């Protein structure tokens, strides 16, 4: 493995950061502001994409910024696993940016400059997490992600600059969601910081290394288990139960923000951190020796089943999707907890595959809100006939979440199933199968309702535009919204038929090579 020095990781991270200043500079010229957002997202993706051939050849790319003190550097490192997350975040930022333009304009939302600026900062945090070489660099971007997404979660409750805050029920709900979000994730950051300090004390470094940097000789068994508990508490962004309630509450945010939280940045950052800790701080050998794999698998299995059961009872579409996310994120924790090649590879593949499928579902939900103003599944009967493209895309995402071909959820779940067989864990295989069956139970009634339910167009009044009193024509959402959700739905199928598109499969295989033990 050769180390290649390059400034490109820094340039990829700087794209959204510089974009923030351009958005603020052109705050009174929305067209230019949105062009800057689209240009920055495309440029960042092209830079990230240019890194793939180098890494696929077995190289690692580094960009050293500065040394804090001996053994502690602020440095970027592009390896196969980090590149999977960086690719997912940068590609989906392009599509969510386009979608946001259609969504925000259709609803004539307030504070759009703040919205786009915070969105860019969130991607800055997500890609920074993906390309961090060590825990201390990751921590900086982890907290930046938390702070930048708070105004997005509380968007409907925060006034535009120079205006008074609204005192409506919706605004208060958004402010409460923002406070809860911040309370959970700032507390999570504190646990994460304590874990980083303790790791540095025990290992003398916080760098990510294949096979881990901790050993059985690093500390007592109890200390190492306590440290892992701090890392898990520091990963509340992963929304594992029972520390999950911030995520359904955050559905008070605009739908593009929900897509950001669930598919692109926040929750993916949480599970990404867990995989980094398991594979590159502890190592699978130490995890197995301490019995931590079984503990993590138990947490994941509990979350997968319980969240799916709660999802079944939700009539609000975004809340059902939120509990689906909680369940699906734990597939990633579940895979890495198996501590073998197939399981970890399945976990890594589920990061991009889930991202494309889940963002499709949320963008479809947002399109429905914009066109009809309806948020509850029971009110969407027959909607598939009025919005066929949107609802076919939704069906594709739902099939993928359930592990049904020809959508890419089948691929990652297949690897997870093979991982349970390699681990000789029939009980965990049963959990995986039951959870997939529950996915069908809470997704297929939605599909049946929108395509075969009796339409009630008289209920589709007002659309999502709170400034409109006109009865809208029921049709597809704007092209800015329709194209992105169509693209993500198509790619959800492409990744199933050709799983090595963009070298995703190659990157996953490289990422698990050399991790030691069961992998």
Task: Tell me how far the alpha carbon of residue 250 is from its chain's centroid.
Answer: 14
pLDDT interval class at 475 (50, 70, 90): confident
- What is the reported pLDDT for 515? 80
Q: What is the percentage of the chain residues whose pLDDT exceeds 70?
A: 95
Q: Looking at per-residue confidence, does 55 or 70 come out higher?
A: 55
Which residue stretches of 373-425 are H helix? 383-386, 388-401, 409-422
Collapsing DSSP to helix, strand or coil, 443 comes out as helix
Residue 358: pLDDT band (50, 70, 90) is very high
> Is residue 23 over pLDDT 70?
yes
User: What is the pLDDT at residue 292?
Assistant: 97
Tokens of 341: 């090649």
pLDDT of 111: 85
| pLDDT at site 264 | 81
- What gap in Å lies between CA 295 and CA 308, rounded to an integer? 20
Q: Give, in order, the Cα–Cα distances in Å from 447 to each of 357, 377, 383.
A: 15, 10, 10
Q: Which domain holds residue 413?
A: 3-159+168-512
Average pLDDT over residues 102-123: 90
Q: What is the pLDDT of residue 161?
A: 60
The CA-based angle 336-508-244, given to 5 degrees, is 40
Work out the angle at residue 418's Cα, subtended by the Cα atoms of residues 417 and 423, and round it to the nearest 5 degrees: 100
Please say if the pLDDT value at position 237 is more than 90.
yes
User: Which pairs from 101-104 meet CB under 8 Å and 24+ separation?
Assistant: 101/34, 101/480, 102/370, 102/477, 102/478, 102/479, 102/480, 102/481, 102/482, 103/254, 103/255, 103/256, 103/366, 103/370, 103/480, 103/481, 104/254, 104/256
Instruction: Write down the pLDDT at residue 68.
Output: 84
3-state secondary structure of 361: helix
Task: Give the residue, 166 or 263, on which the prediction is more confident.
Answer: 263
Domain for residue 273, yes or no? yes
pLDDT beyond 70 at 469 = no
CA atoms of 109 and 87, how far apart (whole Å): 29
Q: Would you place residue 507 in the very low, low, confident or very high pLDDT band (cuts 50, 70, 90)?
A: very high
Q: Can you tell me the mean pLDDT for 432-456?
A: 94
Report in angstroms the alpha-carbon separations of 412 from 298, 305, 322, 417, 485. 19, 18, 20, 9, 21
Mapping DSSP onto H, E and C, the string for 48-86 reads HHHHHHHHHCCCEEEEEEEEEECCEEEEEEECHHHHHHH
End-to-end CA separation in angstroms for the chain: 18
Query: What's the pLDDT score for residue 35?
Result: 96
Token pair belonging to 34: 């949105």
80-107 and 8-25 are packed helices; what angle lies between their axes, rounded to 10 degrees? 10
Determine the 3-state secondary structure of 429 from DSSP.
helix
Does 464 score more than 60 pLDDT?
Answer: no
The better pLDDT of the pair 158, 202 is held by 202
Taking only the tens place, the pLDDT of each residue in 334-344 is 999 999 999 99
Separation between Cα atoms, residue 236 and residue 171, nearest integer Å:
25
Residue 517 forms part of a structural domain:
no
**Sheet of strand 72-78: strand arrangement:** 3-5, 60-69, 72-78
The pLDDT value given to residue 163: 62
Distance from C-alpha of 517 to C-alpha of 519, rounded to nearest angstrom: 5
- What is the rounded radius of gyration, in angstroms, for the C-alpha atoms of the chain? 22
pLDDT at 463 over 60: no
Mean pLDDT across the chain? 92
Checking if the pLDDT of 150 tops 90, the result is: yes
SS3 437: helix
pLDDT at 97 over 60: yes
C-alpha–C-alpha distance, residues 26 and 34, integer Å: 9
| Residue 186 near residue 150, CB atoms below 8 Å | no
Closest CA to 465 of 262, 251, 254: 254
Quick check: 158 pLDDT over 90? no
Lowest average pLDDT, out of 178-182, 207-211, 225-229, 253-257, goes to: 253-257
> Residue range 251-277: average pLDDT?
90
Lowest mean pLDDT among 33-42, 210-219, 327-336, 507-516: 507-516
Can you tell me the distance from the alpha carbon of 128 to that of 433, in angstroms, rounded to the nearest whole number?
Answer: 35
Number of domains observed in the structure of the chain:
1
- What whole-number distance in Å separates Cα of residue 511 and Cα of residue 506? 9
Positive or negative, the CA dihedral 190, 191, 193, 198 is positive
Indicate whether 462 pLDDT > 90. Answer: no
Q: What is the mean pLDDT of residues 268-280?
A: 97
Q: What is the pLDDT of residue 169?
A: 83
Average pLDDT of the segment spanning 504-518: 86
pLDDT value of position 14: 97
- Check: CB of residue 166 under 8 Å from CB of residue 205: no
Mean pLDDT, range 29-53, rounded to an integer: 96
pLDDT band of residue 481 (cuts 50, 70, 90) is: very high
How far is the C-alpha of 509 from the C-alpha of 79, rounded, in Å?
A: 12
The Cα 288–Cα 337 span in angstroms is 9
Query: Mean per-residue pLDDT for 176-185?
Result: 95
Q: How far apart are CA 15 and CA 37, in angstroms?
A: 10
Q: How would residue 388 be classed by pLDDT, with cut points 50, 70 and 90?
A: very high
pLDDT digits (tens, 9 = 90+) for 394-420: 999 999 999 999 999 999 999 999 999
Residue 257's SS3 state is helix
Residue pair 261/181 in contact (Cβ under 8 Å)? The answer is: no
CA 241 vs CA 278, 323, 354: distances in Å: 19, 11, 19
Nearest residue to 326 via CA among 429, 204, 439: 439
Segment 328-355 shows an average pLDDT of 97
Taking the whole predicted model, whether its pTM rises above 0.75 is answered as: yes
Helix axes 8-25, 30-56, angle to 10 degrees: 170
- Half-sphere exposure (CA, 13 Å, Cβ side) for 429? 12
Residue 137, domain member (yes or no)? yes
Task: Please indicate, yes or no, if residue 518 is contained in any of the structural domains.
Answer: no
- What pLDDT score does 260 carry? 83
Is residue 519 a part of any domain in this protein? no
Q: In terms of Cα–Cα distance, which of 144, 167, 143 is closest to 157?
A: 167
């Amino acid at each position: 493995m050769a180390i290649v020095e390059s400034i490109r990781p820094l340039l990829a991270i700087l794209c959204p950061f510089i974009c923030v200043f351009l958005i603020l500079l052109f705050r009174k010229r929305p067209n230019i502001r949105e062009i800057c957002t689209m240009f920055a997202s495309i440029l960042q993706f092209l830079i990230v994409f240019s890194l793939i051939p180098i890494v696929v050849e077995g190289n690692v790319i580094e960009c050293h910024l500065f040394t804090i003190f001996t053994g502690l550097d602020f440095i970027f490192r592009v390896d196969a696993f980090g590149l999977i997350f960086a690719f997912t975040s940068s590609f989906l930022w392009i599509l969510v940016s386009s979608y946001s333009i259609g969504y925000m304009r259709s609803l004539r939302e307030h504070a759009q400059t703040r919205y786009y600026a915070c969105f860019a900062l969130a991607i800055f945090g997500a890609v920074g997490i993906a390309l961090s070489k060590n825990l201390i660099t990751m921590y900086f971007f982890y907290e930046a992600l938390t702070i930048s997404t708070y105004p997005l979660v509380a968007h409907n409750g925060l006034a535009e600059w120079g205006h008074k805050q609204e005192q409506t029920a919706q605004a208060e709900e958004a402010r409460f969601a923002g406070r809860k979000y911040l309370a959970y994730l700032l507390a999570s950051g504190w646990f994460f910081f304590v874990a980083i300090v303790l790791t540095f004390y025990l290992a003398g470094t916080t760098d990510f290394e294949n096979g881990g940097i901790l050993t059985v000789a690093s500390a007592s068994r109890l200390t190492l288990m306590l440290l892992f508990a701090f890392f898990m508490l520091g990963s509340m962004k992963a929304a594992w139960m029972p520390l999950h309630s911030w995520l359904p509450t955050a559905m008070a945010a605009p739908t593009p923000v929900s897509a950001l939280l669930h598919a692109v940045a926040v929750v993916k950052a949480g599970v990404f951190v867990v995989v980094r800790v398991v594979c590159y701080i502890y190592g699978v050998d130490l995890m197995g020796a301490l019995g931590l794999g079984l503990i993590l698998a138990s947490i994941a299995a509990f979350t997968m089943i319980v969240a799916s059961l709660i999802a079944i009872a939700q009539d609000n579409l975004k809340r059902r999707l939120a509990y689906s996310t909680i369940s699906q994120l734990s597939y990633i924790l579940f895979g890495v907890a198996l501590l073998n090649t197939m399981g970890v590879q399945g976990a890594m593949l589920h990061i991009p595959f889930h991202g494309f499928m889940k963002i499709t579902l949320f963008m479809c939900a947002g399109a429905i809100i914009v066109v009809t103003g309806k948020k509850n599944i029971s009110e969407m009967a027959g909607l598939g006939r009025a919005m066929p493209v949107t609802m076919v895309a939704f069906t594709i995402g739902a099939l993928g979440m359930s592990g049904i071909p020809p959508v890419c959820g089948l691929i990652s779940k297949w690897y997870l199933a093979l991982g349970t067989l390699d681990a000789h864990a029939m009980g965990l295989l049963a959990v995986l199968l039951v959870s997939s069956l529950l996915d069908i139970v809470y997704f297929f009634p939605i599909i049946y309702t929108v395509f075969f339910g009796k339409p009630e167009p008289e209920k589709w009044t007002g659309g999502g535009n709170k400034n409109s009193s006109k009865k809208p024509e029921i049709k597809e959402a704007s092209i800015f919204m329709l194209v992105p959700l169509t693209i993500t739905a198509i790619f959800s199928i492409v990744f199933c038929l050709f799983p090595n598109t963009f070298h995703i499969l190659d990157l996953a295989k490289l990422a698990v090579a050399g991790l030691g033990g069961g992998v």
